[in-house]
Amino acid sequence: MLRPSILAFAFAALLLAGKDVAQSQAQSATASPPAKNDYGKAETWLCRPGREDACAVDLTTTIVAANGKLTEEKWKANPNAPVDCFYVYPTVSLDSTPNSDMTAGPEEKSVILHQFARFGSQCRVFAPLYRQVTLTALRANLSGKPMAADRTLGYNDVLDAWNHYLANDNKGRGVVLIGHSQGSGVLMQLIRNEIDGKPIQDRIISAMLLGMNVSVPKGKDAGGTFKRMPLCRSASQTGCVISYVTFRENIPPPANSLFGRLPGEGVEVACTNPAALSGGRGELHAHLGAARTAGSSAAEPKPWVTTSEPIKTPFVSVPGLLTGTCVSNEKGSYLALKVNGNPSDPRTDDIPGDILVAGQVQANWGLHLIDVQVAMGNLVDIVGQQSKAWLTRQKKK
């Protein structure tokens, strides 16, 4: 049986259960609807501006240069950020029930640390708790003993949080939507139902839908999952979508891949390279966890550098080590990550991130565990550039 850690961030496993949202809606229509959350209460949010919460964390990073030199990079939030970021986290809950409760556990707080808090240098941060489908339910589905999870509950929670944010916090500000895996899936539904082609779209700086199969017609930037929100092709473009799924360049998606492949002719999975939105190869500015997370199913990282000097910060950055390019071929459409290791220098020649089962890399997951982290610096920079472009356009109206 797969351990819950193997399923971390894995909304795609819902597809393996053979149920979609429409089926879930039909099933839940016969039951009494769950009570709504009150997003006016502080405890229903992991992050909100101006308070000490899950986003008030240490993001200091050790920069590991190719020559082995270590330097520390400090970080601080911008309390006067002119735009907002609204984040929906991936499948992380270890609650024993099919849907999570509304109590933030260490897993929800950890994913904020690794995937979202760093955006606070560019935007005010909003991250609602929601009653997601849990890792427990996904493990049961994969073991052939499915649990009756309510797949509409999480979406309805996020919709309520979004509407509360619009009514009480937005006040006409631009907003970046950010999600990963299950979080991206929820945001995809929110955009289709509430944003795409509607007046509120004018306030969307961009939607970063990471680690999920967003569809587009081959050779086009819109017309698949979204009708009027195109893919972003520059950091000055706004009202657009950034989306990719990550695989190692030397381990492309296999035939049974969970990501990067879609059924049917004429469609493909969207890929916008955060290191080169206009196309081609670019350097991925990663912020990776300095130490292995307890219980992780990812491969144990090798020492970041072969020196005796310890790394004391929670994150490391490895400039020049990682590059990425969007690939579309018979294997799929995906962000191909290349590790430019040099055995002659003292820095590591690889990074962790693969899912392992019995010591074997599970190629059909790709680098799903670290989709966000491998390009964190690029994504944060893009938010800064897109925000400036959006604000400039607003002043001209």
Per-residue pLDDT of the chain (397 residues; tens, 9 = 90+): 233 333 333 444 343 333 333 334 334 444 678 899 999 999 999 999 999 999 999 999 999 999 999 999 999 999 999 999 999 999 999 999 999 999 999 999 999 999 999 999 999 999 999 999 999 998 898 788 889 999 899 999 999 999 999 999 999 999 999 999 999 999 999 999 999 999 999 999 999 999 999 999 999 999 999 999 999 999 999 999 999 999 999 999 999 999 999 998 899 999 999 999 999 999 999 999 998 543 445 555 678 998 768 899 999 999 999 999 999 999 999 999 999 999 999 999 999 999 888 888 999 999 999 999 999 999 999 999 999 999 999 998 7
Q: What is the pLDDT of residue 28?
A: 43
Q: And the tokens for 278? A: 């206009």
Q: What is the pLDDT of residue 334?
A: 98
| Contact assessment for residue 211 and residue 245, using Cβ atoms and an 8 Å cutoff | yes
Q: What is the sign, positive or negative, of the torsion defined by CA atoms of 126, 164, 170, 238?
A: positive
* Distant-in-sequence, close-in-space partners of 194: CB < 8 Å, separation ≥ 6: 159, 162, 200
Q: And the tokens for 277? A: 């939105």
* Distance, CA of 378 to CA of 317 (rounded, Å): 12
Which residue in 256, 270, 394 sits closest to 334, CA to CA? 270
Instruction: Kindly state the helix (H) or strand (E) to which residue 139 belongs, with its residue range.
Output: helix 135-142
Written as one letter, the residue type at 342 is N
* Distance, CA of 321 to CA of 318 (rounded, Å): 6
* Beta bridge partners of residue 326, listed in sequence order: 335
Q: What is the pTM (predicted TM-score) of this model? A: 0.92
Q: What is the pLDDT of residue 7?
A: 38
Instruction: Match 């290791």 to its residue by tokens.
Output: 341
Q: List, for residues 189-206, the tens digit of each pLDDT value.
A: 999 999 999 999 999 999
- Sheet containing 288-289: order of strands: 70-73, 61-64, 315-317, 288-289
Instruction: Match 């970063």 to its residue by tokens.
Output: 208
Q: What is the pLDDT of residue 297?
A: 52
